[in-house]
Amino acid sequence: MSDTPLRHDWARDEIEALLDLPFNDLMFRAQQVHRAGFDPNRIQVSSLLSIKTGACSEDCGYCSQSAKYNTGLEKERLLPLDEVISAAEAAKAKGASRFCMGAAWRNPSDKNLERVIEMVQAVHDLGLETCITLGMLEEEQAQRLKQAGLDYYNHNLDTSPEFYGQVISTRRFQDRLDTLAHVRKAGIHVCSGGILGMGESRSDRASLLQELANLPRHPDSVPINLLVQVEGTPLFGTDALDPLEFVRTVAVARIIMPASLVRLSAGRGEMSDEMQALCFLAGANSIFYGERLLTTDNSATDKDRQLFQRLGLHMQPQAEGGAEMASV
Ligand code: SAM
Ligand code: DTB
Ligand code: SF4
């Protein structure tokens, strides 16, 4: 467990000052915090499966699965249980410790939730940690998932409240905070982060990090995604983010959320080995592993294994980062 105090009162200018540090100073600070809380050579590995694909009613400007954009994606209804179990077994055999199932819904209906609960129970029975991301949740739905034994719920803030309206119009930033509150209240571990490289400013990145760190409890996992540009979506063609700016943002996430797993998430397929190595140095200690993310390709698994070997990193479950679950 980290011996760095957990703060929930980060001011915007403090976070901006961290982002503005000379790169070497920032990396040094991030390593100090990282080593106080974690084995620096261990990486937690999650695998993803899209259990319901496409035809989503939302208009998230980055997403291949919105029915509003023509991305050529093949739609798929909710997968049968046996297909989910096979995918989870394969992920376990490759070394994943957590299995994350994603559905292209604005929110789950109660009927669909029952089917997802069966999946959660089956994946749990394989000895994997379970994570799902189904969109907005009501309080009772979160309670039902907790009773079914769900470990993590992923729901990202995505970007700053200030930039949010330029990316999504069909749900509010406050809706996301409400879902996180329902998940937290139910006692499910929270996984929440965002996407970089959508044309936001450094100050937006500071604002996103501020929102995450000033939640009543730090998310247990903080996925930092680099926008995967999908042809047909409004954000396709956005200017690429400077890779060092991405690394800086990871480092600041590590510093201000010292006990959370910081996940280097979507976008690794486009990153050089050197950029990924800098992200790990900056305190990222989790990845999505497996050939596919939800609808796009991930970094190839043999390439990942080679990189881990070159860096002397071990794929292992971290000792429960459990940012602040002890106080639940
Ligand atoms: N439909 C649910 C929702 O939006 O909450 C769950 C699935 S959704 C695909 C989960 C998250 O994946 C999004 O909130 C976003 O942060 C991330 N994501 C989706 N498409 C992405 C892309 N093209 N590049 C990077 N991250 C992406
Ligand atoms: C998260 O933060 N990133 C994952 C997971 N949570 C569900 C999703 C990434 C999706 C990338 C685009 C795609 O494959 O559709
Ligand atoms: Fe739908 Fe989720 Fe994609 Fe938004 S991010 S369009 S809610 S699948």
Query: Best of 62, 66, 100 to mutate for ligand 3, by most ligand atoms within 8 A of CB?
Result: 66
What average pLDDT does range 30-44 have in this prediction?
94
Calculate the alpha carbon distances from 208 to 134, 253, 285 in Å. Answer: 21, 10, 20
Tokens standing for residue 51: 């259990």
Q: What is the pLDDT of residues 9-26, one digit of tens each?
A: 999 999 999 999 999 999
Given a cut of 70, is residue 2 above it in pLDDT? no
Respond yes or no: is residue 279 known to be catalytic. Answer: no
Identify the helix (H) or strand (E) that includes residue 49. Answer: strand 42-52
Place of tokens 């189904």: 134
Among 12, 29, 42, 60, the one annotated catalytic: 60
Place of tokens 């997802």: 116
Q: How confident is the model at residue 326 (pLDDT cuts 50, 70, 90)?
A: very low
Respond yes or no: is residue 56 known to be catalytic. Answer: yes
Q: What is the pLDDT of residues 145-182, one digit of tens each?
A: 998 889 999 999 999 999 999 999 999 999 999 999 99
Q: What is the pLDDT of residues 228-279, one digit of tens each?
A: 999 999 999 999 999 999 999 999 999 999 999 999 999 998 899 999 999 9
Tokens standing for residue 326: 């002890």
Q: Which residues line ligand 2 (CB under 6 A)?
A: 48, 64, 100, 102, 133, 154, 156, 193, 223, 225, 228, 265-266, 293-296
Which pLDDT does position 3 carry in this prediction?
66
* Gap between the terminal Cα atoms of the chain: 16
Query: For 194-214, b where at least 16 C-beta lie within 10 A, e where not — what string?
Result: bbbbbbbeeebbbbbbbbbbe
322 - beta bridge partners?
A: none
CB 135 less than 6 A from any atom of ligand 3: yes
Q: What is the pLDDT of residues 53-74, one digit of tens each?
A: 998 999 999 999 999 999 988 8
CB 104 less than 6 A from any atom of ligand 3: yes
Identify the helix (H) or strand (E) that includes residue 213. Answer: helix 202-213
Q: How far is the CA of 14 from the centre of ligand 3 (A)?
A: 32
